Structure 1
Amino acid sequence: MKKRTLLLFIVVFAFNQSSIYAQNTDMFSPKYIKETMVKVTDWQMKNQIHKETDWTNGAFFAGVFAAYETTKSPRILDSLMAMGERNLWLPHPRFDHADDIAISQTYIDLYRIKKDRRMIQATLDSVLKMRKIKGNEVKKHGIAWWWCDALFMAPPTLAKLAVTLKDPSFFVQNDSLYKQCYDLLYNKEEHLFARDANYLWNAQGEGKKEANGKKLFWSRGNGWVMGGLVKLLKEMPKNYPTRSFYVTLYKEMATRLLSLQQADGLWRASLLDPASYPGGEGSGSGFDCYAMAWGINNGILNKATYLPAVQKTWKALNSLITPAGKVGWVQPIGADPRRNFNSESFEVYGAGAFLLAGSEVIKLKK
Structure 2
Amino acid sequence: MKKNYRFICVLFVTVFLATNSVASQDYFDNFPVNADPKSVGDKLSKRFLESKHQLYFDKGIHYAEVCTWYGALRFAELTDDQALIKQLRNRFELLFHIEKDLLPPPIHVDQNMFGCLPLRLYGITGDKRYLDLGLPYADTQWILPANAREEERKWHEKGYSWQTRLWIDDMYMITIVQSEAYTITGNAEYMNRAAKEMVLYLDELQHANGLFYHAPDVPFYWGRGDGWMAVGMTELLFNLPESDPNRERILKGYLLMMNNLKKYINRDGLWNQLIDDPESWTETSGSAMFTYAMIAGVKNGWLDEGEFAPVARRAWLSLCNYINDDNDLTEVCIGTGKKNSKQYYLDRPRIAGDFHGQAPVLWCAYALLDK
TM range (shorter): 0.7 to 0.9
Change (3 A) 1:309 1:122: same
Q: Is residue 2:317 matched to residue 1:297?
A: no
Deviation at 1:193, TM superposition (A): 1.6
CA distance in 1, matches of 2:324, 2:148: 39
CA distance in 1, matches of 2:297, 2:149: 33
Change (3 A) 1:297 1:28: farther
Instruction: Tell me the residue number matched to 1:322.
Output: 324
Paired residues, number: 321
Point out the more displaced range, 91-100 or 69-78. 91-100
Decide whether the 8 Å contact of 1:195 with 1:335 is kept in 2. no
Instruction: Tell me the residue number matched to 1:54.
Output: 62
- Of 82, 89, 93, 1:74 maps to 82
Instruction: Tell me the residue number matched to 2:213.
Output: 194
- Of 64, 71, 79, 2:72 maps to 64
Instruction: Tell me the residue number matched to 1:168.
Output: 188
Identity rate, percent? 19
Q: Is residue 2:31 matched to residue 1:27?
A: yes
Larger Rg computed on CA atoms: 2
Instruction: Tell me the residue number matched to 1:204.
Output: none
Change (3 A) 1:49 1:108: closer
Change (3 A) 1:273 1:42: same
Decide whether the 8 Å contact of 1:53 with 1:87 is kept in 2. no
Q: Which amino acid aligns with 1:358?
A: A
Deviation at 1:135, TM superposition (A): 6.9
CA distance in 2, matches of 1:30, 1:119: 35
Change (3 A) 1:322 1:222: same
Q: Which amino acid aligns with 2:330?
A: G
C-alpha distance after superposition, 1:315-359 (max 9, x if no partner): 1100011123111111111136344445x5331121111011111
Give TM-score, length-normalised by structure 1: 0.79
C-alpha distance after superposition, 1:58-107 (max 9, x if no partner): 22122112221333222320122123322239895443522112222222
Change (3 A) 1:176 1:139: farther
Q: Is residue 2:164 matched to residue 1:145?
A: yes
C-alpha distance after superposition, 1:152-190 (max 9, x if no partner): 112121122123212111122223333333333222x22
Alpha-carbon RMSD across the aligned residues, in angstroms, is: 2.6
CA distance in 2, matches of 1:257, 1:335: 23
Q: Which amino acid aligns with 1:354?
A: V
CA distance in 2, matches of 1:162, 1:136: 28
Give TM-score, length-normalised by structure 2: 0.78
Change (3 A) 1:40 1:271: same
Deviation at 1:118, TM superposition (A): 1.4
Change (3 A) 1:123 1:217: same
Change (3 A) 1:158 1:249: same
Decide whether the 8 Å contact of 1:96 with 1:135 is kept in 2. no
Point out the more displaced range, 289-298 or 85-94. 85-94
- Of 336, 349, 353, 1:346 maps to 353
**Unpaired runs of at least 5, structure 2:** 1-28, 156-162, 339-344
Decide whether the 8 Å contact of 2:53 with 2:61 is kept in 1. no
Deviation at 1:145, TM superposition (A): 2.5
**Unpaired runs of at least 5, structure 1:** 1-24, 200-207, 209-215
Instruction: Tell me the residue number matched to 2:158.
Output: none
CA distance in 2, matches of 1:49, 1:125: 22
CA distance in 1, matches of 2:333, 2:140: 34
CA distance in 2, matches of 1:136, 1:82: 36
Matches within 5 A, 1:100-249: 100-134=111-145, 139=150, 143=155, 144-146=163-165, 147-187=167-207, 189-199=208-218, 208=219, 216-249=220-253
Decide whether the 8 Å contact of 2:110 with 2:170 is kept in 1. yes
Q: Which amino acid aligns with 2:134?
A: T
Deviation at 1:299, TM superposition (A): 0.8
Q: Which amino acid aligns with 2:234?
A: V
